[in-house]
Amino acid sequence: MQIVILKDSAEVAAYGADIFIKQLQKKANSVLGLATGSTPVSLYRGLIEACDAKLVSFRDVTSFNLDEYLGLEGTHPQSYRYFMNQQLFNHIDINKAQTHVPPGDADNPLEACVGYEEKIEAAGGIDIQLLGIGRNGHIGFNEPSSGLMSRTRVKTLTKATIEDNARFFRDDEYQPHLSMTMGIGTILDAKRVVLLATGENKADAILATVEGPLMAACPASALQLHTDAVLVIDEAAASKLSDRDFYIHIENENQKLMAKLP
C-alpha cells in the first residue's frame, strides 16, 4: 500500500483529484469506480473545475458507483444516484447512460447484483476505484464480517453506519437499513484503488487498515492484498499510525525515484 499523508482535507482532495485527472489524460475512455459520502465531494469539485478548464473530458468515460440504498429510487434526494448527479454528473460532459449506480429499486435485487457485476466485466473492468472508509473500516457498504472475496450483493447496514448516515436524512424521512454494494472482491479487481480518509474519527479505521491484520472485521484491510492501492489521508486520520514517519520517508523516497525516471 502506498500511504500519502497530507496536512488537511483540502490537500487530500486536491491530491485525489490530480490522480483522477492524470488517469483521464492517460486514458480518455477510463472506467471509473466512484463513491459517495462527504469525503469525495471536494475531489469531485476539483474534477468539475478540471473539466470546465478543458484539462479533461468525461465524454468517453464509463463509471460504476460502489453502492446504493436498497428501496430508494434514483430520484430520491438521499439516493446515491441523486447524489452523484448533484455532486458530479450534472456538471461535467459525461454521458449519463454510461454512468452506473447499483439499482436500489430493482424488482429482483439479487439478480440485479449479478447484472451489475456483468456490466463491470463487459466494460473491461474498473481502471481506478475511489473509496472512502467508514469509522468501522467499511468500504462501499461492506460492513465488518463481509467476506474478503465477496461480490456485488445485498448487505445489511450496521447500527454505526445507520447512525453515521442519519445526518443526511430528515427526522420524518425513511432511512433504509439495507444496501446493494460491490463486494470486497469486486473492489480488489479494480486495477488501481485510491482510498481517501480525513479527520480524527477515521484514525482507528486507518490504523486497522494499514497496521492491523488482514481480517473481515476491518474490510478495508483487504487492500493489503492489492498491488496498486494508495491511501491519501490527512494528519488527523494518520494520527494513530505507529510508523507514520516511516510512511512519510517511503513517500519521499518514491518521489525522488519517480523524478529520476525518464
Catalytic center residues: 67, 136, 138, 143
Q: Residue 36 CB, nearest distance to ligand F6R (Å)?
A: 4
64, 127 contact by CB (below 8 A): no
Nearer to ligand F6R, 60 or 164 (CB): 164
Rule CB under 6 A: is residue 37 a binding residue for ligand F6R?
Answer: yes
Nearer to ligand F6R, 104 or 132 (CB): 132
| Residue 106: alpha-carbon gap to chain centroid | 23
Residue matched to cell numbers 473500516: 137
Nearer to ligand F6R, 23 or 36 (CB): 36
- Closest by CA position to 17, among listed 37, 45, 38: 45
Residue nearest to ligand F6R (CB): 132
Rule CB under 6 A: is residue 140 a binding residue for ligand F6R?
Answer: yes
- Which of these ranges, 7-15, 33-41, 70-78, 249-257, lies near ligand F6R under the rule CB under 6 A? 33-41
Rule CB under 6 A: is residue 134 a binding residue for ligand F6R?
Answer: yes
- 100/164 Cα distance (integer angstroms): 25
CB-count exposure of residue 192 (10 Å: 0-12, 13-18, 19+): middle
> Which listed residue (9, 58, 104, 138) binds ligand F6R by CB under 6 A?
138
- Which of these ranges, 12-20, 101-109, 128-136, 230-238, lies near ligand F6R under the rule CB under 6 A? 128-136
